[in-house]
Structure formats: structure tokens, C-alpha cells
Structure 1
Amino acid sequence: MSVSLQEQPQAASLPGARRSLTESAAHGTALEEFERSDGRPAFVLTFTEVKLLGIAGVGFFLDAYDLFIINPVSTMLQYRLYGGKSLPPNLEGFVKAGANIGSVIGQFAFGYAADSLGRKAVYGKELMLIIIATILTLTTPTGSLSPNNCLIYLGMFRILLGVGVGGDYPMSASITSDRSNLRKRGTMLAYVFSNQGWGSLVGSLATLIVLAIYRGAIEKRNELSKVDGVWRIVVGISLIPAFGTLYQRVTLPESKRFVFSQKLKLTGQHTEAQPRDIAELEKEKVTAEGSTDADEKPSKNGSAEIVEERNELSEDNDLPLEVLIKKKAHFKGMVSFPCLAQKFLNYFSEWKHAKLLIGTCVCWFLLDIAFYGINLNQNVVLGQIGFDGKSGTEWNRLFKISTGNMIITALGFVPGYYASILTIEILGRKWIQIQGFLMAALFLGVLAGKFHELSKGAFIVCFALLQFFFNFGANTTTYCYPAEVFPTRFRATAHGISAASGKAGAIISALVFNTLSKKIGTPAVLWIFFGCCIAGAFFTLLLPEVKGRDPDALLAAEIEAKRQAVVGI
């Protein structure tokens, strides 16, 4: 049975629940199928799943394309604006970090909005931002502004681009996780994230092709200003998949988890008085224990949370508990925004929940310090393997740099992502993340210790293996974990916070890598990245294995246990 965008939900049971559900409610939490294996491996997809991945995956294609294309673009701007000299270090860091700065804003904002207003109300808006920002980026007036002001102009609109790119992280993760079979959820998320590899690869390939087209003008006629056209075309190509997916995103139906949370009705034993009675029992219990005010709520993390849950049920007393724990906050003007924030804080005030958020945030932060520190500053690596473009004509230099980027991407990025796709449901997320961190640390240690001694061939092999284990490891699983470990009610918000933590690490690397490497040397910086990977492996121990784990069912069991404790069952 295939996963469908409109599929009937799966049967779910709640331990200890005493409510009778309608036939449709009794069959389901949305779009998780009936959890019956069709006998095919998890990585074999149906047409409907491929369609869903196409809609969600284009965001990550654009993420990598737009983030990593800045490397060859910044090199072209050296020739267009500074006569081949290096860009000013501070402005180069600002341009390279701009998209990541915007990503932090987008990840927070879109993640919270998706949980508050629903996926359908928000999905597609992040892609609109990407399109607008890309067009504005192309208007950079390199012929009229001073070189430094051109970089500032470009960097500002790359921040706006980053808001859209960042917003795609929690949106696509939630859209995919909401619609995935538990048996294939990790594979589906890994497939979506693997589009980063294709985005980087296509970006390098597009640069090579456009440079080849312009070879006559740049090399033979010595029209170096034509690089202005090269980088604009390369950046503008990303608009094609963006426009191609926009309609599908804005018309994608709401997640069934939200639809059923509002539509399903109860029959049988449930009565309207039951939730209110539980709340009253709790108040009486508090009063009996010596409270001076019958309406005073108990302390944090105590029975106040139960009262809050019961009051919520009293507002929606026609919905089953299994559905309530998956429903989005009501949208009544702006009321839903602070309402969600309060519930989010209540939920994560418990250590067993907070440690999961700490784990996803810190692991992603440490990973991105190392990952983006390497990939946003590939000129250092390219210099070690002979593709730094320091010799030959201007065109030859640009072409050699683009070729080096292509080699790095083809050897490490794409194979690593697909190793994760093929094994994530077998090995599990936790094992892949820990071994990925440790293996990346190993190769970073080799590169740091033998930075000036490795031959070109040995350096390429070592760096390719580093990239492989970044992607067959924490770069994939840090994206998957927040979409699988947190319940639907808080999934997008928690994913946005986790992703923003990662981008904070990327910003640090982008801003300080060049300056720090000049002060203490590149090998010393690589040792810092080594330490980040070791620490990431330890923080992964805070996280459970999420293969086959249903966080909504766990939350339902928690709420039911609190209800039974209050009522005295």
C-alpha cells in the first residue's frame, strides 16, 4: 500500500483509553499507512512517494545550490570587482555567511508558524521568498556601486534568501514526517535531505557549462567583465526548479493529522462533562492539600500541566485524545501564537523532553561548525589538491576551481547521502550519527596532522572520505532526528530551533574561518573541527534510537498516565 497525500489513516490504540471512536478515527493517525510491509525495501518508493519527495526535496536542492554556489561566485567577483585580488576578509565572510544568517531567522519563524497555523497555511511562502531574493540578488549593480558596496548589497539580499532557505527546513521535514509510514519515515527524510548533494553537484556542473560557453569572450577576447554574466546566469538557474515546484507547494492539502484533529467526532462512552470533571477533581485535590485558593494551579511540572491538558480537552471535547495530541493550536487572530509558546515551554520544561531538544540542537551546532567550515572555505582544500586556480589565464583559473568543486562533490556528497538512504532503517539513526561523527573526526585528524605532508592523491582520498562520512552520518541524521523524535504538535517548532542551532555553527565558521586560519594556521582550525566531531558523538548519547518510534503515541500515553493519576484509577 502506498503513501498517499490523501490516504486514510492507520489504526491506532491508546493504552488505558476509555473512549469509543468513530470508524475513521479508530483507524488512524494520519498518513502512516496501516504499518504493514509490502515486502519491498524501504528505499523502494511508490509514484506518490516520489511526487511528495519532489515537492519537498526541491527546497534542499536550492539550499545546497544557493549556499555553495557562493564559492565560485565570490571568485568571479574577485575578477569583476577587485581585478583578481582577494575580497576583503570581513566582506567575504559577510557574503558567505549571509544566507546562513537569514536561515536562522527563517527556521525559527517558519517552524513556529507551521505548528501555530498549520502546514498548508505556511507551505510555499518560503519558496516565494527564495524566488524574490534570488531575483533581487541578480540585480546587484556591479557597474555603478563601489566594489565594497556591491558586496554589501549582495550580502543583504542573500540574508533574505536565507530566510526562505531556512524556512524550508522545518516545513519540508514536517510535511514529509506527517505523511510517512513509520517503517519508511527515516528513508523518506533522508531522500529529501539528499537533494543537498544534487544541488551542490548541479551547481558545480552549471558553473562549468556556463564558463565553457563564455570561454571565447573571457579568454580569447580578454573581456574579463563577462564573468558578471557568468555568475548571474549560474545563480539565476536556480529559479527554474523553484518556479516549477511553487504551484504544487501552495496547493498541497493540509496534513491529515491536522484535518482529523478538527473533524473527527466521538461516540459512545465519552461525555462533555468528563474533561471538566477531571479538571475539577484536580482542583479539589489541590484544595484538600492546603491550597489557599481553589483556583490556584499547582507548581510547574506538577499537576498544573494536567489541568492545562484537561482544560484543552474541555474546549475540544468532541475530539479523541489520540487526535488532540496531534492537533495544531487554534488560530484565533494572534492568540494561537502565544498559546503554542506556553504549551511548548510546558512540554520541554520536563528534563526527559528537554534533553532531546538539547541533544538535537547541540549535535547540529557542532556538526555545522565543521561541515560548513570546510565547505564554505573550499579554496583552502582546493589549494592542497592543485585546483586553487593560481596559475594560467583568468578563465583557466575559474574553470579549474569549478572542476575542483565538482570533484569534491561527486566523490563525497552524493555517495554519502545514498549510503544513509540505503541503511538508515537497518542501522538506525543513532548508530549512523555516532559513527559518522567519529569517522569524520578520524579524517579531520589525519588532515590536520599531515596537512602539509600528504600527496595530492592522498589528500583527495582523505577529503573525499571526510565528506562521505559527514553525509553518511551526522549531516543527514541531524536533519532526520528532530522530525522523528518530537510529537506532531511541536515538531516544526522543535525542528526549526534545532536547525537554527546548526546554522549558528555555520555562521561562526563562515565569519571566523579565514581570520582564524591566518592567525593560528589551517591545521589548528582542523583540530578544532576534530574536537567538535568528538563532542557531537558524545551529545548523541542524549538521543534515543527513533527507528519505528511514534512520538505521538508516547505523548498520548503520558497524558493518559497523568489523567489516571489524577482520577485515581
Structure 2
Amino acid sequence: MNDPLRLSSSVDTDKGSPSLDDAKPTAQAVQVDGDKEVERLRNVEKHSSKWTILAAGAGLISDGLQNNIMTLTNVIFGQLYGKAYTSAYSTQVSNALTVGTILGQISIGMVCDIYGRKAGILISTFSIVAGIIIVTAAHGAHGSFAGFIWCMTVGRGLTGIGVGGEYPSGSASAAEAANEKMQKSRGPIFILVTNLVLSFGTIFACILYLIVYSAAGGDDANYSTVWRTVFGISVLPPLVVLLFRLRMVNSKLYRDGAIQRGPPLLLTLKFYWRSLIGTCGAWFLYDFVTFPNGVFSGTIIAQIVKVTGHEKFRKTAEYQLLLGTIALPGCLVGALIVNRLGRRNLMILGFTGYLVIGLSVGLAYDKLLKTVPAFVVLYGLMQSFGNLGPGNVLGLSSAESYATPVRGTLYGISAAIGKVGAVAGTQSFTPIRDNLGAKWTFIVAAICGVLGVLVTYFFIRQDLDGDLSDEDAKFAAYLKANGWDGAMGVQGKEALIDREEAVTVGKAHE
């Protein structure tokens, strides 16, 4: 096919008309500029996979920090504002992030399927930065405390939209990038740059708070200065990672398999209904247990430590740091054994840990309260089992169960249903504790463990460690067999990245 930009000099023209030769320099200049842009994109693409994986990890460290930063902030607000900071206000601010996360997971999940992973990632990053800035500067009009809380709520909600968007866009791009460069190690790599760094957010938040607390004067610190400084510092990680994300390109899997006009919804649901029940159901149960225990762990520990005043915050932060540290090894162990044990079996093992540890803590709760370190260790072990199994595998299985054209959307829906479980767990945590007793929060976790085992066994596939392109081929064949005749592949400049390679391959087959 002749290139329309290459004008032939052999075409005859009227003497009174502008010569085609006069138009040549302009057309050639456009062609040169186009070639330079494609070449630039190819050079970026050579290293894009590695930077995408690293940026996903760096970005999710920020998400983990934002998910956990309110745990100690709630303790500070309790000390700073006393009874004015009611449980209703605490729940409102905490749930703002969760509600925003749900919106981000669904909306940006669809964006990253239609417009590309990079578009979804950039929207997520900008939302996180804007939300953190609003929270850091939060004030109520004329000193209104209710206005201050609503300013916090809006800022945390906007942050949540960005955090939620990171799940389908950042995680999907990380899975696709790992598949291109290190397919056999995709599972462990994915866990290390997603759940490990998300879980590190608890430790990061505690360390950051303790450092700022000490720098601000320790037990004589001004609490308002402490929490605002912590939030202000937390804006730096997403700003740094933004520099790398501006240079990334979409994965080859996405460039080849994207359905940018939107895939047929009914056919997609018909093909993936079983996997959706598995990823949505297991994520709901996991977040129902994990999220309220994360949000209220600081409050729980603060209630059982035997100190008061400023020392109470420091002691709570130290135990919170211990709790997060104990929970972290589950991520590492899961990454080591996920390929050997399989995705489904590893998730079942983690949910079984909820059953065993949840019952142990629940039945011995009153005795454990007399020894706070023992309580914190067992509490941490339960969270470590959660990280080992569903914490590690839910994101991985949600990325691997679905084809590239719908990966972001179905991943986002699965994660959003999980966050619905988080809201349900957060809302029911206090009523369960107040009406049935604190030990029942752990017994309920054990019950969720049993349900998680059943959902995982019947609805999560065990054959998820293959090449992601094979899943794309199966999905494309299914769509065509059912009468869908739409186009796959990206439009625009990124479509040209693989053009020469395709031409070379075509000539080799001739």
C-alpha cells in the first residue's frame, strides 16, 4: 500500500496550479515527524514493562499508606477533639475513602479498558494528589468542627477515587508487563509489587507517624501539627511516581487486544460469570474481615493498653507497628509458594488461617487481654494468614482470570464488591462488638474464613498461571463464535509501535 504522505513527482499538473513538488517538503516533514514520534515510542516501549512494574509497586505503597493513615489519625483526633469526635464522625471520614475507592475501581476500571492503562493510571495519581492536599489543608468555615469534618470527608473521598483507580489500572498493567518479560514468575512478581507494598502501608504509616511525632516534641508534640505534617509528607510518593508514569506506554497485550469501543457486556458476563462469583465473593469476605480490623485496630489496642495521655498514642503506634510487621511475612511466604501450591489452594490456606486464628483469639479473648503482646501477636498472625492467601491471590486471580479487553473492568468490579464488604464490615463492627462482645468480631472472622474456603474452591480457577495471551485468544474466539464482529487493537500512534515487527513477520511467512 502506498503511503499517502509520499506524493509522486511523476504526476502531471497544470502550469497555473501549484506544483506537487512544492508540497513535498511539507509532506516529508510530517512523515519525518511521525517517524520520529514512532521511534520515540519504540524506545520508551523497550523499557516500559520494567518501569510499569516498578511504578505499580511505588504507586501502591502510596495507596497502602492512604488506606492505613487514618488508623492512627483516629487515635489523634480522639485525643485532640475528645467527645466532639464521635464514632459517627470517625466512621464518616473512614468510609469516605472506601466509597471513593469503589467509585474509582468501577469508573477508572472501565476507563483503562477503553482509553488505555496509562490514562487510568494518570487519572488515579492526580486524584490522590488533589485529595491529600485538601485533607492536609482541611478547615471549617469560621472554625466550624462539622465543616472541618466535611472537608476531610471530601478530601478522603477524592483520594479514594485515585486509590480505587490504582487497583484495575496499576495492577492490570503490572500483570501484563510481567507477562511480557517474565511470564513464569508473573505470580510472585505481581504479589511483590501489589499486596506486599499495600501491606507495607501499615508499617509505613506507623513509622511516619512515630518519626513526625518525635520530631514535633514527642509527648509534648502538638497533635494538629503532627497529623497535618504526616498527610503533607504522604503526597510525595504519588508525585514522584507520576514522573515515571508520564513516560510509560500501554502493554503489547493491550495494544493487540483492546476493544476501545467497549466489549459486548452480555457476552462478557456469560463467558466469565463463574469467575466473577469467585473473585467478587472472595474479595467481599476478605475485605469484610480485613478492612474493619485495619481501621479499628488502633482503637482496639488503644482501649487495652494501660497508659494515658500522649503516651497512649505513642504506645498504640508502637503496637500498631508490631501488628503490621507480623502481618507482612504472609505476603513474602505467599509469593514464594504461589506457583508451587497454585492460586486457588493458596487462597484456601489463607482463609483456613482465619478460621483457626479467629476462633483461637475469639474463644480466649478475655484471657488474652491480660497480656497485650500475646494478643497483638495472634492478631497479627490472623492478618498474616489473610495476606498469605486472599490478600496475595485475589488481585492476582482477578488479573489472570479475565482477558485483556475486559481485565480492567472486571478487576475493578471484583475489587469494588470487596470494598462493599469493607463498608459492611466497618458498619457492623461496632454493633457486633457492643451487642455481642468484642470476642465475636474474631469469631465472625472465623465464619468468614469458612465461607471463603467454599467460594474459592467452587469458583476460583486453578489454571491461572499460563500465558495471558492464551486467555485473550479464548475470549476473542468466543465473541466471534457468538456473532460479535467488532475490532480489536488500539488506535492512534501506539498502534504504529508494532507495525514494522508485523510487516517483518508477514514477509518471513511469504
The reply to whether TM is greater than 0.5 is: yes
Pair 1:462–1:494, CA change in 2 (3 A): same
Tell me by how many angstroms 1:554 deviates.
4.2
Distance of 2:337 and 2:410 partners within structure 1: 25
- The answer to whether residue 322 in structure 2 is matched with residue 403 in structure 1 is no
Tell me by how many angstroms 1:457 deviates.
4.0
Corresponding position of 2:37: none
Corresponding position of 2:422: 506
Alignment check: 8 A CA contact 1:53 1:191 kept: no
Match of 1:545 among 452, 459, 462: 462
Amino acid at match of 2:217: R
Partner secondary structure for residue 172 of structure 1: helix
Distance of 2:133 and 2:472 partners within structure 1: 44
Pair 1:254–1:439, CA change in 2 (3 A): same
Corresponding position of 1:16: none
- The answer to whether residue 232 in structure 2 is matched with residue 236 in structure 1 is yes
Match of 1:258 among 226, 245, 254: 254
Corresponding position of 1:346: 267
Pair 1:253–1:349, CA change in 2 (3 A): same
Partner secondary structure for residue 184 of structure 2: coil
Match of 2:88 among 87, 90, 102: 90
Partner secondary structure for residue 365 of structure 2: coil
Distance of 2:438 and 2:70 partners within structure 1: 21
Distance of 2:74 and 2:478 partners within structure 1: 57
Deviations 1:467-493 (A, max 9, x none): 211111111111111101111111000
Corresponding position of 1:245: 241
Deviations 1:418-477 (A, max 9, x none): 111222122221111001001122101111111111233432332121121111111111
Partner secondary structure for residue 479 of structure 1: helix
Amino acid at match of 1:257: L
Corresponding position of 2:191: 190
Match of 1:204 among 203, 206, 209: 206
Amino acid at match of 1:456: V
Partner secondary structure for residue 366 of structure 2: coil
Partner secondary structure for residue 254 of structure 1: coil
Amino acid at match of 1:133: G
Distance of 2:273 and 2:429 partners within structure 1: 31
Distance of 2:312 and 2:479 partners within structure 1: 66
Corresponding position of 2:490: none
Amino acid at match of 2:321: M
Distance of 2:402 and 2:478 partners within structure 1: 19
Pair 1:81–1:466, CA change in 2 (3 A): same
Partner secondary structure for residue 349 of structure 1: helix
Corresponding position of 1:515: 431
Pair 1:49–1:149, CA change in 2 (3 A): same
- The answer to whether residue 61 in structure 2 is matched with residue 61 in structure 1 is yes
Corresponding position of 1:327: 258
Corresponding position of 1:170: 168
Q: How does 1:309-458 map to 2 (within 5 A)?
A: 326-329=257-260, 336=261, 339-340=262-263, 343-350=264-271, 353-379=272-298, 381-383=300-302, 386-387=304-305, 391-392=307-308, 394-412=309-327, 414-454=328-368, 455-458=371-374
Q: Which runs of 5+ in 1 are unaligned?
A: 1-46, 262-325, 330-335
Q: How does 1:102-141 map to 2 (within 5 A)?
A: 102-141=100-139
Corresponding position of 1:150: 148
Alignment check: 8 A CA contact 1:81 1:147 kept: no
Pair 1:520–1:562, CA change in 2 (3 A): closer
Pair 1:447–1:556, CA change in 2 (3 A): same
Alignment check: 8 A CA contact 1:437 1:474 kept: yes
Distance of 1:106 and 1:246 partners within structure 2: 18
Alignment check: 8 A CA contact 2:267 2:479 kept: no
Distance of 1:151 and 1:200 partners within structure 2: 23
Distance of 1:113 and 1:527 partners within structure 2: 40
Distance of 1:493 and 1:62 partners within structure 2: 22
Distance of 1:543 and 1:247 partners within structure 2: 37
Distance of 2:84 and 2:379 partners within structure 1: 25
Amino acid at match of 2:208: A
Match of 1:487 among 403, 416, 420: 403
Pair 1:214–1:395, CA change in 2 (3 A): farther
Partner secondary structure for residue 367 of structure 2: coil
Q: How does 1:217-236 map to 2 (within 5 A)?
A: 219=220, 226-236=222-232
Tell me by how many angstroms 1:547 deviates.
4.1
Distance of 1:119 and 1:49 partners within structure 2: 12
Pair 1:396–1:86, CA change in 2 (3 A): farther
Distance of 1:448 and 1:554 partners within structure 2: 43
Distance of 1:243 and 1:555 partners within structure 2: 34
Distance of 1:546 and 1:374 partners within structure 2: 32
Alignment check: 8 A CA contact 2:298 2:320 kept: no
Partner secondary structure for residue 400 of structure 1: helix
Partner secondary structure for residue 166 of structure 2: helix
Alignment check: 8 A CA contact 1:365 1:505 kept: yes
Corresponding position of 1:27: none
Amino acid at match of 1:469: F
Deviations 1:212-258 (A, max 9, x none): 12226x52xxxx7x210100111111111111110211221122123
Distance of 1:522 and 1:344 partners within structure 2: 44
Alignment check: 8 A CA contact 1:174 1:491 kept: yes
Partner secondary structure for residue 548 of structure 1: coil
Tell me by how many angstroms 1:87 deviates.
2.7
Alignment check: 8 A CA contact 1:119 1:254 kept: yes
Alignment check: 8 A CA contact 1:207 1:234 kept: yes
Tell me by how many angstroms 1:551 deviates.
5.0
Moved more, 250-259 or 441-450: 250-259
Q: Which runs of 5+ in 2 are unaligned?
A: 1-46, 484-510
Distance of 2:149 and 2:478 partners within structure 1: 58
Amino acid at match of 1:180: A
Corresponding position of 2:74: 74
Corresponding position of 1:15: none
Q: Which has the higher helix share?
A: 2
Tell me by how many angstroms 1:120 deviates.
2.6
Alignment check: 8 A CA contact 2:72 2:298 kept: no
Alignment check: 8 A CA contact 2:330 2:387 kept: yes
Alignment check: 8 A CA contact 1:131 1:242 kept: yes
Pair 1:449–1:383, CA change in 2 (3 A): farther
